[in-house]
Each structure stands twice: as structure tokens, then as C-alpha cells.
């Protein structure tokens, strides 16, 4: 664990991060200079482009001020008191690996300077982390990109794999801005402020279901100075088709993770946070837990209103009307938006299907209540936690009225081959399921026509349930100290 933490801590300060690797990965694409323009300078905007540099500077300032608000603690109703944190300026003072204290920086080209960010570690620790060690990262792989950012996977010298996020120089966000304003550096700053916003939110919203921010780095890249890269926990993309083929227990874990996340976002230190872009691609899986990774489109402010007509929550399939509070805010709109998106993107697909029959009524109630916005995040989480309790404790098991067949116990043994497939299974080549106890394993075997034996392993799932292989026979019983075989008695 200490070795892993040391490897991750190496990402806290990185003015030398990745050296040649990042120059290759994040270097801007070539852009032919305009007549009279040097190759390294920014193009001048056309006079008719929405006010040219003035308009671009206004947009940069808006994003800059948004990031600063979140650094201090979110505005609007329910905003929590921010934690006391040392701030640091992202502007580098040369290429020394040190963490500067808060200081002012003249805004470039009439735009605001980089905002202050919460510190990710003490100056001493940042210097001791050894930025030079990050020159030896390996296995750089492109993961994907979106509207603004590109994501890469690298492995640190200590063996830890992390994700790197940077503004995508060939992405839609930067490209459309350059086409409109012709100011490459200014457009980069406009796009990079979304990455800055995400950094601040990842730092402020510390929760097991929010992706962990390890650090960030900046370095010059061709004609763009101080290009920014964030270093985060690495997760696997959420593929809904694959999730539908996994066990109900794993799918329920994802829904429970989401319920816990939405409860936290509804009561976060910044206030109620809503995810304006809630598609599955905004989330990743880390060791089976669902975590939100993309926060640049998150919003803390509740929607202002003068009457109920201003509080219409609209979705493709249906709309909801929410009350306008006396303080002039749409009551609970951020929370309700998150809940309905959880229903339409996750709960309706992952919760009910192949669930234990005795849990289906409660699961159907959860799906229906979130689909109708009848519950808030508190009640939704309470009901999901109730499902977990019933499942983990075995209280969901129904008393069997039929007589069970007798099974002979063969300790320290297993059955090779003689597999059959069932769905859903933890093993694609056989029937590997989780059970609460031996009685449930017998019931499962009795319910499968082809089952004649089963093997209890010493492996457990995240709820502590035993993993069991179900077999068509027991002709090849071999020694295995980590398993116990049960075969159906003759007659």
C-alpha cells in the first residue's frame, strides 16, 4: 500500500511530467500561418466574429469566475461553508518542481489569469515526490475523448496505472472556438477552464463514488504555454450492453453506488450539485464501484425563478413541474434532475432484471418512484440500502416447501470439466453463481435440470457471498484444498 501511495504521490507536481510523451500526446496539430503571421503566433480574429477578442475574453472570464466560486464554496441555497485549504497558483515560476504560494499573475491577452486551486499536498511533499521520476512512465495509451478533453492511460514507475486528461487539440470545443475567433491561445484557455473547473470539483467533492484526483501538471507545448494535464484514478468505461450480461449482484452494486453518489451530491459541501451531462460515458467502474469522472458540466446553482412556470424540468419522454420557493429558486431541481437521469439511464435497465424473486416488488417500487420523482435522494438511498441488507443477510430467501435431495459432501476436492452454461454467470465457460449458504446452493442445483453436483469455492463476492460452480456430474473429482464438492446422492 505504501509503495502504491508513493507511486501515486509522484503525480502531485509535474512540471517535467512525461517529457517527450506528453509532447507527443498533447501537442497541437499543425496550423498553417496566415499571411504576415509567424508560425508561433495566434491568428487575428475577423472583425465580424461576435466582437472578436472582447467576446472571447468575456467567455473566459465567465468560466474563470465560475471556477473561483467553486474554489471558495458554491453559491446559491444550501451552499456549505468551504473547508480551509491552502491555495496555489497554477502559473509556473520557471520549470522548478515546487508548489508556489498564492500570487497574482497578469492576465494574458486581456483575459483572466489561471484561477487559484486547492492544494494537493504540502510544498515539501510535492518537491520530495520526484517529478523527474515521471519521465519514465510507460505504456501510454489513448482511452477516448469527448467534446473538450482527451484521456490517456499511463503506468508510473512504481507500477500504478493512472489516467491523464488534457484539452483535446483536435476536439470540437477548441476547434469551433478557433474557427470563430481565430485566437488559438485564447481558445485553449477557454477550453482549459473546463478542465480547471473539473479539477476543483474533484478536489472539493471527496466521496468514494467520485473519481480521485491525484494531481496535475503543466508544460509548454509548441505555441501554447502552460498546457494543463490532470492526473486521476483510472477506471473502466461503463458499457451498458456488457453490464446487462453480468450478475444481478454486480448490477445492483452499480445502482447502489449511484444512489450513494446522488445522496452526496444533494448534500455536498458546495450545495446541491447536478450533473447536466448524465450519460453512462460520464462514469467509470473502479473495482466494481461506479464513479463519476466528468464534472466539467456539473452545476451547483439552483435554477432561479419568479413563479412555477420557470421550474419546468424537461426530459425527452416527459416533463415535471417543480415549485418556485419564496427565495426565488426552483426547489430541488438539481436533485430531481439527477434522480430522473439515474432512473432512465441506469435503474430501469439494471435493477429489476434477473433479481431474486422476493426482492422484485421492492426493486419495482424503487424504479417506479424514481421514474415519477416521488422520492428524493434520501429515500431512494434508504430503500437501496434496505435491498442490500435483505440480500446480504439472507432475509430475501424464501422458505422452500418442497423436500430437498440429499447431497454427499467431499471435502478438499473439486470437479474438473463437466461444466454447463447458465445466465447470468461469473464465468463464461461454466455456471458460476453466488449463494448465501449451502441451502441456497442446493436450491439452485435443484432448479437446474442438468445440475448433478456443485463445488463451493473459497472466493466471495463484494457482499460476502460464496461463489459456487454447478456441474453436470462428478466423474472427474480431483483433490483441491480450497474447495468442497457436493454430489447428488443416488436415488
Q: Is 419 a catalytic residue?
A: no
**What stretch of H or E contains 466?**
strand 466-471
At 76, list the grid cell: 446559491
Count of residues making up the chain? 491
H helix runs in 311-394, sequence order? 333-342, 348-350, 360-371, 377-393
**How distant, in Å, are the alpha carbons of 170, 212, 300, 423 from that of 323?**
43, 35, 18, 45
Locus of grid cell 497554477: 90
The three-class DSSP label of residue 243 is: helix
Element (H, E) at 314: strand 312-314
3-state SS, residue 309: helix
Catalytic residue, from 277, 310, 419, 443: name it: 277
Cβ neighbors of 203 (< 8 A, separation 6 or more) are 117, 118, 120, 213
Range list of H helices, 84-206: 123-128, 172-181, 184-204
Nine cell digits for residue 70: 467553486
Between the CA of residue 48 and those of 45, 52, 53, 54, 187, what are the distances in Å?
8, 7, 11, 12, 17
Residues known to be catalytic: 277
Amino acid at each position: 500500500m505504501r509503495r502504491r501511495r508513493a507511486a501515486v504521490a509522484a503525480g502531485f507536481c509535474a512540471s517535467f511530467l512525461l517529457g517527450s510523451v506528453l509532447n507527443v500526446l498533447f501537442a497541437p496539430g499543425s496550423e498553417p500561418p496566415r499571411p504576415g503571421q509567424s508560425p508561433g503566433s495566434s491568428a487575428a480574429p475577423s472583425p465580424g466574429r461576435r466582437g472578436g477578442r472582447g467576446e472571447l475574453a468575456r467567455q473566459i472570464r465567465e468560466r474563470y469566475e465560475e471556477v473561483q466560486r467553486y474554489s471558495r464554496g458554491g453559491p446559491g441555497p444550501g451552499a456549505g461553508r468551504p473547508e480551509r485549504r491552502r491555495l496555489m497558483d497554477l502559473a509556473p515560476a520557471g520549470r522548478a518542481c515546487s508548489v508556489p504560494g498564492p500570487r497574482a499573475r497578469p492576465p494574458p491577452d486581456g483575459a483572466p489569469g489561471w484561477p487559484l486551486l486547492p492544494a494537493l499536498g504540502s510544498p515539501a511533499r510535492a518537491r520530495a515526490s520526484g517529478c523527474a521520476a515521471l519521465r519514465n512512465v510507460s505504456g501510454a495509451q489513448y482511452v477516448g475523448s469527448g467534446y473538450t478533453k482527451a484521456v490517456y492511460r499511463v503506468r508510473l514507475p512504481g507500477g500504478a496505472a493512472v489516467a491523464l486528461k488534457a484539452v483535446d487539440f483536435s476536439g470540437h470545443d477548441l476547434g469551433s472556438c478557433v474557427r470563430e475567433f481565430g485566437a488559438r491561445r485564447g481558445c485553449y484557455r477557454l477550453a482549459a477552464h473546463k478542465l480547471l473547473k473539473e479539477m476543483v470539483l474533484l478536489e472539493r467533492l471527496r466521496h468514494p463514488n467520485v473519481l480521485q484526483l491525484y494531481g496535475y501538471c503543466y508544460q509548454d507545448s509548441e505555441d501554447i504555454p502552460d498546457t494543463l494535464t490532470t492526473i486521476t484514478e483510472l477506471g473502466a468505461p461503463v458499457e451498458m450492453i456488457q453490464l446487462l450480461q453480468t450478475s444481478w449482484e454486480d448490477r445492483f452494486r452499480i445502482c447502489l453506488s449511484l444512489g450513494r453518489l446522488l445522496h452526496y451530491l444533494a448534500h455536498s459541501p458546495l450545495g446541491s450539485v447536478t450533473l447536466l451531462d448524465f450519460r453512462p460515458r460520464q462514469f467509470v467502474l473502479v473495482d466494481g464501484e461506479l464513479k463519476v469522472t466528468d464534472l466539467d458540466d456539473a452545476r451547483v446553482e439552483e435554477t432561479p425563478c419568479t413563479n412555477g412556470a420557470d421550474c419546468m424540468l424537461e426530459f425527452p419522454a416527459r416533463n415535471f413541474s417543480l415549485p418556485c420557493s419564496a427565495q426565488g429558486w426552483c426547489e430541488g431541481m438539481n436533485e430531481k434532475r439527477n434522480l430522473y437521469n439515474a432512473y432512465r439511464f441506469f435503474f430501469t435497465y439494471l435493477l429489476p432484471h434477473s433479481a431474486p424473486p422476493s426482492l422484485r416488488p421492492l426493486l419495482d417500487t424503487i424504479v417506479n418512484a424514481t421514474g415519477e420523482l416521488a422520492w428524493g435522494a434520501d429515500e431512494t438511498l434508504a430503500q437501496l440500502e434496505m435491498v442490500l441488507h435483505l440480500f446480504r443477510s439472507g432475509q430475501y430467501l424464501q422458505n422452500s416447501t418442497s423436500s430437498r435431495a440429499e447431497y454427499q459432501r467431499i471435502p478438499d476436492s473439486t470437479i474438473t470439466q463437466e461444466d454447463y452454461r447458465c445466465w447470468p454467470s461469473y464465468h463464461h465457460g461454466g455456471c458460476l453463481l453466488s449463494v448465501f449458504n449451502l441451502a441456497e446452493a442446493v436450491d439452485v442445483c435443484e432448479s437446474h435440470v442438468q445440475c448433478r453436483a456443485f463445488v463451493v469455492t473459497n472466493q466471495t463476492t463484494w457482499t460476502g457471498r460464496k461463489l459456487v460452480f454447478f456441474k453436470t456430474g462428478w466423474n472427474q473429482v480431483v483433490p483441491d484444498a480450497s474447495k468442497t464438492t457436493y454430489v447428488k446422492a443416488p436415488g
